[in-house]
Chains A and B, each alone.
Chain A
């Protein structure tokens, strides 16, 4: 199996405060990996560091190329889609415009219309609302839109920052089912940061556990789910 993303000794800073203390991890091509951790452990910072949205040191390689010094938009243009915390929806634009924006850096303009149709198949609720302002959508619909917008990039790697946040359990199930489908059918490698450890571990094949800016555990998602410490700290039984 080839390595898609390789992160070595990643340290990140907010002003004087160091948030990551030398992270090492890698993602295999085609895998669905979850990064678990409590509030403030550094999950969001890890994703932001990959996209160069926070000051960081260390080596980040995507498909063998170092990307640590690229600007955010140039990282994205390599095929790394990032669904940020809070979804980053363009609330004053329509659903369709949001999807168009997802594909804005693509050169193959002719294929975009077809991709939008495909997104409507994945997420039928978006099709009903395509002329609506995205801000009028419910939280769950906006999260669907955020994932669809990220997919419009035709990414090789998708980073998701707590997609379950603030959503009803049924909608979270639905969303995770779609993520699994995308991972299998569209061959998109996925890294999902979650506090909802139970669902994330059911879905993922690899898992990392992060505590105060360090990776403290890594391995097969099933093994991690069965680990005594993880069960007590993150699964609550």
Chain B
């Protein structure tokens, strides 16, 4: 029983990271109808930036805040330079753009910081949380930071004018323009926020998976699985999907003999396929009907 509780809690902790990545992916998907394959690499690059800041002597939380701000700005710049010009281009052009972005960020990070694995600090320590063996303080911190961020996002989208405008622009761009919303900038803002959310995920998971240019590959695939499970049309679904995938991953790895750590990633991919076949809209998404 203790093993079960332990695995569920650990699953919620990593699930929090998947939830962040899924949310970032869904935010961009809502705005431009494409999956950002480079979301993980953007988060990885941000994490390296925070590491570099700490190497230069900036304290952890200072580096954290600076990195989130940098990632927000970088997300906007990437959208303005690369994806705004591609807005009316065919799907495959966009996919090529995302893959190019993936490869470029990955190699540039390798070039600047090389491919060796680095330790990444945690501000929460890794002692048992509240004296319990079930969960470490870092895992508890991961969950706490994620929940705080989700709460802030909820209030932003629910109660601010900009949040309302962003929701309107994502759901009906033409109607949004007709009430005077600059939908193009709302998309850029969405990129900035997705990038900032991703950077938080990167900085939280780095002490667990260690810092290196390929650190986010697996995390992003779990993020995609979470987004698909929850429904690509639903930010709330993406978050729930993240936690579910985190728990599911841990329980399968623990209780199904032969899966272990090596087969966990194929499990995520299998989950994507099963959901797409059985319930393409996801658990919380709306089925998309297109008029032809």
Contacts and interface: CB of A to CB of B under 8 A. Distances in A.
Interface of A: 51, 53, 71-73, 76-77, 81-82, 84, 88-90, 92-93, 97, 100-102, 104-105, 109, 149, 153
Nearest to B162: A104
A71 B180 CA distance: 10
Interface of B: 161, 164-165, 167-168, 171-172, 174-183
Contact of A73 (B167, B172, B181): B181
A73 B175 contact: no
B111 to A, nearest CB: 40
Contacts of B174: 53, 84, 88
Contact of B175 (A71, A77, A90): A90
B164 A100 contact: yes
Given A72-B177, A93-B168, 13 more contacts: A76-B178, A77-B180, A82-B178, A88-B172, A93-B167, A97-B164, A101-B168, A101-B179, A104-B164, A104-B168, A104-B179, A104-B181, A105-B179
Contacts of A77: 180
B236 to A, nearest CB: 12
A105 B181 contact: yes
19 contacts: A51-B178, A71-B177, A72-B178, A76-B178, A76-B180, A84-B178, A88-B172, A88-B175, A88-B178, A100-B161, A101-B176, A101-B179, A104-B161, A104-B165, A104-B168, A105-B180, A109-B161, A153-B179, A153-B180
Contacts of B180: 73, 76-77, 104-105, 153
Contacts of A100: 161, 164
A165 B149 CA distance: 45
A149 B172 CA distance: 15
Contacts of B175: 84, 88-90
A210 B161 CA distance: 40
Contacts of A97: 164
Contact of B168 (A81, A84, A90): A90
Contacts of A101: 164-165, 168, 176, 179, 181
Contacts of A53: 174, 177
A97 B161 CA distance: 10
B30 to A, nearest CB: 12
Contacts of A90: 168, 171-172, 175
Contacts of A153: 179-180
Contacts of A71: 177, 182
Nearest to A92: B171
